[in-house]
Amino acid sequence: MSNKIKITTTPPKGMKPIDVCRACAKLCRPYMKQKFMGPIYYANFMGILDEKCVLFALEKNEIVGFLQWKRYKRDKELLLLNKLAVRTDYLKNGIGTKLMNQFLEKYTENKLIHLGVSKDNSVAISFYEKFGFRKSQSPKNDKVLEMIKLSPKFERFYDL
Q: What pLDDT was estimated at residue 121?
A: 87
For 7-21, 23-37, 53-67, 140-154, which range has the lowest pLDDT when averaged over its residues?
A: 23-37
Q: How far is CA 49 from CA 69, 90, 123, in A?
A: 10, 23, 27
Query: In which band, very low, low, confident or very high, does the pLDDT at 133 lie, cut at 50, 70 and 90?
Result: very high
pLDDT of 158 above 70: no
In the predicted model, what is the mean pLDDT of the chain? 81
Q: What pLDDT was estimated at residue 57?
A: 95
Query: In which band, very low, low, confident or very high, does the pLDDT at 33 lie, cut at 50, 70 and 90?
Result: low
Of 157 and 13, which is predicted with more confidence? Answer: 13
Query: In which band, very low, low, confident or very high, does the pLDDT at 111 lie, cut at 50, 70 and 90?
Result: confident
CA distance 153 to 146: 20
Q: What pLDDT was estimated at residue 66?
A: 93
Q: What is the CA radius of gyration of the chain?
A: 16
pLDDT of 2 above 60: no
* % of the chain beyond a pLDDT of 90: 30
Q: How far is CA 88 from CA 35, 43, 104, 134, in A?
A: 16, 25, 23, 26
